[in-house]
Chains A and B, each alone.
Chain A
Amino acid sequence: MLRFIPILTIVLMIGPVSAGLIGTILPAFEILPALGGTTPSLEPWQALVAQPGLGASIRLSLVNGLIATFVSVAIVMLFCAAWQGTRTFHALQRILSPILSVPHATAAFGLAFLIAPSGWFVRVVAQFTGWDRPPDVAIIHDPWGIALIAGLVAKEIPFLFLMTLSALPQADTDRTAQVTASLGYGRIAGWFKATLPRIYPQIRLPVLAVLAYSTSVVDVAIILAPTTPAPLAVRILGWLSDPDLALRFMASSAAVLQLLIVIAAMAIWIAGERLVAVIGACWAIDGQRFKQDGAVRGVSAVMALVAAGTVVLGLVVLLVWSVAGFWAFPDLLPRGFSLRLWARELDAIGNSLTTTLLIGIPAVVIAVTLVLACLENEVRTGKPAGRRAMFLIYLPLLVPQISFMFGLQVFFSLLGLERTLVSVVLGHLVFVAPYVFLSLSEPFRALDPRYGQTALCLGASPARVFWQVRLPLLTRAVLTAAAVGLAVTVGQYLPTLLIGAGRFATVTTEAVALASGGDRRMIGIYGLFQMILPFAGFALALLIPAVLFRHRRGMGAQNKG
């Protein structure tokens, strides 16, 4: 039984992606019997090419995705290089981990409320300049997509940081740092020359996932990106939601184009990697020490802090708006506060929280079970999953959601599972399981194998060793992975919207739907409610083991990670 789970897991990951891609590619060539398309044609592509501003949309997706990824990676690498092993590093580690639980849309709303022409930042400036009305410039939805890049960077930094963090021990980084320092290298140069080449291969998949996400993001783009024209993924969603069903064909070809854009972005990124590797190989041995790196270290700390601070401050401004009474420009705070809106929305919010959990809990439970079974199978057979299997598990994160979600919807309707809870849960599972795997595999594999061996030699069966030794020892890691999974399902916008065909109103679909209305108080409320479930999840992941093992001091050290 156990040994079939890895295959089942891969089928559950690859199945929806391939079914979805087929369901997108066929209509792109006008094959979709349900809508009367039976003969292949290039008409959808001709219609797509005729769309005004298509070039600009493509440029926005490609360039902004690459820039956002590059900036996030650069800041994280620079910060790790400059501060790894210091107190500052551990302090930021503590701030960034909870930020990971903030859904993308919440972070984007928070950023929008900070930097909008009538946002907090401008209000602060207005105190000194004496402006009595917001400046007439487009700061969010700016034509260059800078706000979009900022929103993505602020949210991707915590993710990449934590991924790097789990790769660090495998490169023996603390001692490497001592060696490079004793050879006279500055901190940053030593890290880039001796540590980065060893850990980059381990964070490469997460980096590519960030690239695929940034290049094809929908929810953050609806909130922050330019609108005339919008990035391609946002326009695809518009065409898919259009009452004119004929537009579905063109939307499908656009979704295929989106896939090609992501592939192009990855090709560019990988070419860049090669180039850096060649130049870096020479640079690493040229003997330059770069001893004076104090200024760069300072800058890297400031950038990481600004990124983290923006998200936190964004949450604060969401909170303030959600209880704001009359709030005129350029006042820093509203004249009055009121819970009236909260009270009014409580029922509606209760419903969307229930829906969110109805999808999220099964998805998380299935994902954690599958991942634990895969890892346990690894231990029992003594064969770790190969590189290729790992790639398959992460595949759903490397394919743009919009390119296979519509096709998956078509596929589910063929099965008669259209708009059902089962199909939405399966759609979420595709994204939850990889993140649960990412979170759980490292602590699971790091557990001293001799615990299991000792227990077996004491006469315990493999099942007993799993339930009574390995699982309790990994309590915190398992709960943390479940919390990560919950944060992922709560944040899902496209799969809920497309697979559920609008039938499932989660906190996230409700919040993003509010974006166009611009009611800041409502956005504040729903943005915060998006936060509550992930945050509660992480709090429980800390609290439960602490209570359970309050008399077991050894569990603190055991359960790191």
Chain B
Amino acid sequence: MPEAAKNGLELHDVRVRLDGRELVAVDLTIAPGEIVTLMGPSGSGKSSLLGHICGTLPDAFEVTGQVVLDGRLLDGLAPQDRHVGILFQDDLLFPHLSVGGNLAFALPAHIKGRANRRARVEAALGSAEMDGFYDRDPATLSGGQRARVALMRVLLSEPCALLLDEPFSKLDSGLRSQIRSFVFDLCRKNSLPTLMVTHDPEDGAAAGGRVIELRG
């Protein structure tokens, strides 16, 4: 992707409705490396908005407006063609694959060669300070390690934008600030336009970007 095309994630007057009731309406542009926080009570349609951006929202929802990523219109594209990564409050590591398998699953197919792919995964593990974890069973990891593997997995899929759906709410408070800065640092380092939804004001404060309050 040429550098000039990196103009971030643009939500042009996006409105999500269910059964005629408007759940959420936003109009904003997120620059590469910027982290925007959407705050709102549960049921305010925050997660539906993220589902719409990554293309997994069920048909029952009615959505108007446009989603544009790096100048590319996302609406109508299949989720796998959008290059939008998402992290949920659960890490959702695939329990049938090893830690390395989870990461290699995300690595695009254009990175070829068994050794080359393995090296890429090992490097990602290294940058998460988890060297030697390739063959581990994800079920044996600590909460913090799982969260880090989940983030590395998303980053290896080479996304152009990142969505965070209450990503820290299940971590215990000691771990939370540590994982937060790990995630936010990598978002900035990779120049990812990042949209986070949360109901925890501390998340928004730690992100250090714009915070938008949704009404319930």
**Chain A residues in contact with chain B, CB under 8 A?**
381-383, 448, 450-451, 453-462, 468-469, 472-473, 475, 549, 551-555, 557-558
Contacts and interface: CB of A to CB of B under 8 A. Distances in A.
25 contacts: A382-B60, A448-B90, A450-B88, A453-B54, A453-B79, A453-B86, A456-B78, A456-B80, A457-B84, A457-B159, A458-B85, A458-B105, A458-B154, A458-B157, A459-B106, A460-B80, A460-B105, A468-B105, A473-B94, A553-B140, A554-B93, A554-B137, A554-B139, A555-B96, A558-B95
Contact of B157 (A450, A459, A461, A558): A459
B59 interface: yes
B55 interface: yes
Interface in B27-58: 51, 54-56, 58
Given A451-B92, A454-B92, A382 B105 contact: no
Contacts of B96: 472-473, 475, 549, 552, 554-555, 558
B108 interface: yes
A340 B95 CA distance: 50
Nearest to B90: A450
A471 to B, nearest CB: 10
The SS class assigned to the B binding surface is: loop
Interface of chain A: mostly helix, strand, loop or mixed: helix
A457 B56 contact: yes
Nearest to A549: B96
A459 B84 CA distance: 9
Contact of B59 (A382, A469, A475): A382
Contacts of B98: 551
Given A382-B59, A458-B153, A473-B96, A553 B137 contact: yes
B138 interface: yes
A549 B158 CA distance: 29
Contacts of A475: 96
Contacts of A455: 94, 105
Interface of B: 51, 54-56, 58-60, 78-80, 82-86, 88, 90, 92-98, 105-106, 108, 137-140, 153-154, 157-159
B85 A453 contact: no
A217 B141 CA distance: 54
A457 B159 CA distance: 9
Given A459-B106, A468-B105, A555 B80 contact: no
A454 B95 CA distance: 13
B122 to A, nearest CB: 19
Q: Which of the listed residues A459, A475, A551, A554 has the most CB atoms from chain B within 10 Å of its own CB?
A: A459
Nearest to A455: B105
Contacts of A456: 54-56, 78-80
Contacts of B93: 554
Contacts of A448: 90, 92
Contacts of B139: 552-554
A450 B80 contact: no
A273 B95 CA distance: 44
A455 B80 CA distance: 8
The 3 closest A-B pairs by CB, nearest first: A554-B95, A554-B139, A553-B139
A469 B94 contact: yes
Contact of B85 (A457, A460, A462): A457
Nearest to A557: B95
Nearest to A448: B92
Contacts of B54: 453, 456-457
